Amino acid sequence: MMMEDRRLNKYLADSGYCSRREADRLIEAGQVTINGRVAALGERVPAGARVMVGKEEIGFAGDKVYLAVYKPVGIVSTADTREKDNIVDFIAYPGRVYPIGRLDKDSEGLLLLTSDGDIVNRILRSEGRHEKEYEVRVNKPLTAEFLSRMASGVPVLGQTTLPAGIRQTGPDSFTLTLVQGLNRQIRRMCEYLGYEVLRLKRVRVLNISLGRMRPGEWRQLGDRETRELMALLDKQG
């Protein structure tokens, strides 16, 4: 979870400005200031401090909350408190947030939550146009036909899935990039082709990546990530 007082390199990385390694390089080069004072390696950023790289102020999105969450298997992508394993109670964020879209209970990985109802509507309206990337492992070796069919389209829920990007990563594993989100789509696609999904992990939604987060962890999106996300949604109309 995000801490009020955190290391400067983590602050810059969490903001989406750069990696921790690049942050350390910028700090060593004297390009980072905290409240107008040149910062030092290992320094911590107190809540409310003004952090700048050169002439650019680095902060987080204002009053609206945008969270990237690593949803574990078994947690349900809902804000409905009648569901005991709902994602909102699970992360216990100190404010009202809602999941953007869904990730089924048996799957894990990146789920976005926000207090911004407008962005929820914008992302849902753009369904079929924004990319989501998954890492998948199945119960038997992949074949050329399987890879080709998954990429070109498979009958699911009375329709043929849209073309998808696929890359084999092992004898029984692959990454799949979708631009639609039918109910349990990847599991249904694999089942149609005679395969069973053993593990399904979402690693990216649009420009937001899971990175090195672990199950149950969450972080706030940085200003740069949020601006890029809004720009992509604007481009998609």
Catalytically annotated residues: 104
Query: How many CB atoms neighbour CB 40 within 10 A?
Result: 12
Cα–Cα distance for residue pair 231/52, rounded to 1 Å: 23
- The answer to whether 135 and 151 are in contact (CB under 8 A) is no
Are residues 110 and 162 in contact, defined by beta-carbon separation less than 8 angstroms? no
Count how many Cα atoms sit within 13 Å of the Cα of residue 135 in the half-sphere of its side chain. 11
Q: Do residues 154 and 161 touch, judged by C-beta distance below 8 A? A: yes
Distance CA 209, CA 7 (A): 21
Instruction: Give the whole-angstrom CA distance, residue 135 versus residue 115.
Output: 28
How far apart are the C-alpha atoms of 117 and 96, rounded to whole Å?
Answer: 11
As a whole number of angstroms, the distance between CA 138 and CA 5 comes to: 42
Spatial neighbors of 192 by CB under 8 A, at least 6 apart, are: 154, 155, 156
- Taking the C-alpha atoms of residue 132 and residue 113, their distance in angstroms, rounded to an integer, is 15
